[in-house]
Amino acid sequence: MKNKILLLPGDGVGPEITTEAVKILDYIIGKSIVDVSYTEGDIGGVAIDNHNNPFPDETLQKARDSSSILLGAVGTIKHSNNPNNMKPESGLLALRKNLDLYINLRPIFILPSLISCSSLKPEVIKDIDIIIVRELVSDIYFGEPRGFDNDSRSAFNTMRYSEDEVERIASYAFDLSETRKSIITSVDKANVLETSQLWRKCVDKIGKKFPDVKIDHMYIDNAAMQLINNPSQFDVILTGNLFGDILSDEASMLTGSIGMLPSASLSKSQGVYEPIHGSAPDIAGKNIVNPIAMILSLGMMFRYSFKRDDISDSIDNAVNTVLSNGYLTKDLSDSNDFTSTSQMGDLILEEFKKNV
């Protein structure tokens, strides 16, 4: 298990961006830089087509046998009207739940070469270095009961958290904060929601064990506004599953493109690494998707699962160099003369070879 990687390319642009990340992985393996191997599995829409299940038992077993998983994207138009348990996205939720991937890390940063790509003023975004710590296996996505009433004219979901669930994600966030600026912004809606009142109580309880860490509590609506108004005020943002989902996508636009940002979903022993963007079926197969978020997710894998910061840094440096040299994918470029998906992967690989 220690050296096994599972590749889950998934749907839409997932296979394309996985191909570009595997170029670097193959080089690492071929040069014996790290002793790892990989296999592949199905998840999401492709798993429904091949196994009549968005998260088949075969994939679950491969996931349990792996130390880390590199995931492309999940979601299809074809299966969008399926019942909830047969939607591609339910495969992703099942993966997170079965592996207890309760920690989701989403770094929000901007490279100097891409400041002009953001819709915000350069002086507002130039210093952003944020990491969102999102609880990933509870909240409204997993709460029971849920469903439609008998007449199907009304529906309901249950937002639920336990003390243990909040305290373990808060403990991770406080530990992380001590390695950064020792500032945590905990985002909730405690003026309205009982789950948020519990959340705030538990965060304060854990905070007492970290006297050097400053805690700011912020309501979700204000946090969404402040992310646009003054993003540099944030360092570690700690929040629940639903609010974290929304805030991280909003924050991604500070960087100029959602195609730039990786993520890690961690348990106590395993990690799933994936770009935060979706499957983008409208551009799938056109060789125009930005593969950088996937390549940076591979970098996060080496940092968190294999404790090889040097490889992660080499990947980061290769990406930065290629972008600084003016090579931009379609989502980042103002012209029709843009770098294709496969070209970007090749360019980053060549720079990586120089750095590693």
pLDDT (average), residues 198-218: 98
**175 — pLDDT class (breaks 50, 70, 90):** very high
Check if the beta carbon of residue 328 is closer than 8 Å to that of residue 292.
no
pLDDT of residue 64: 96
Please enumerate in sequence order all residues whose Cβ is within 8 A of that of 126, keeping only pairs 6 or more positions apart, or say none: 110, 112, 115
Q: Is the pLDDT of residue 129 over 60?
A: yes
- 256 HSE (CA, 13 A, CB side): 27
Q: What is the pLDDT of residue 48?
A: 97
pLDDT digits (tens, 9 = 90+) for 60-113: 999 999 999 999 999 999 998 999 889 999 999 999 999 999 999 999 988 888
Please provide the average confidence, as pLDDT, over all residues in the chain.
95
What pLDDT score was predicted for residue 298?
98
pLDDT at 117: 80
Per-residue model confidence (pLDDT) at position 24: 98
Helix, strand and coil in the chain, % to nearest 5: 45, 15, 35
Tell me the per-residue pLDDT of 340-353, one tens digit each, with 9 for 90 and over. Answer: 999 999 999 999 99
Active site residues: 141, 189, 221, 245, 249
Identify the band that residue 43 occupies on the pLDDT scale cut at 50, 70 and 90: very high
- Say what the pLDDT of residue 2 is: 67
Q: What is the pLDDT of residue 333?
A: 87
**Taking Cα atoms as reference points, which of 79, 30, 28, 71 lies closest to residue 50?**
79
- Percent of the chain residues topping a pLDDT of 70: 99
Q: Chain-centre distance of CA 284, in angstroms?
A: 20
DSSP 202: H
What pLDDT, on a 0 to 100 scale, did the predictor assign at position 60?
Answer: 97
Beta bridge partners of 219: 188
224-247 tens-digit pLDDT: 999 999 999 999 999 999 999 999
Cβ atoms of 218 and 231 closer than 8 Å: no
**Residue 51: pLDDT over 70:** yes
pLDDT number for residue 199: 98
**pLDDT, position 126:** 84
Which pLDDT score is estimated for 169?
A: 98
Answer whether residue 1 shows pLDDT above 80: no
Other CB atoms within a 10 A radius of the CB of residue 191 amount to 9
Residue 178: pLDDT band by 50, 70, 90 thresholds? very high
pLDDT tens digits, one per residue of 8-19: 999 999 999 999
Q: What is the pLDDT of residues 255-308, one digit of tens each?
A: 878 889 999 999 999 999 999 999 999 999 999 999 999 999 999 999 999 999
Amino acid at site 258: I
Domains in the chain, CATH or no CATH each:
1-109+261-356 (3.40.718.10), 119-255 (3.40.718.10)
Q: Encode burial over 61-83: b for 16+ CB neighbours within 10 A, e otherwise.
A: ebbeebbbbbbbbbbbeebeebe
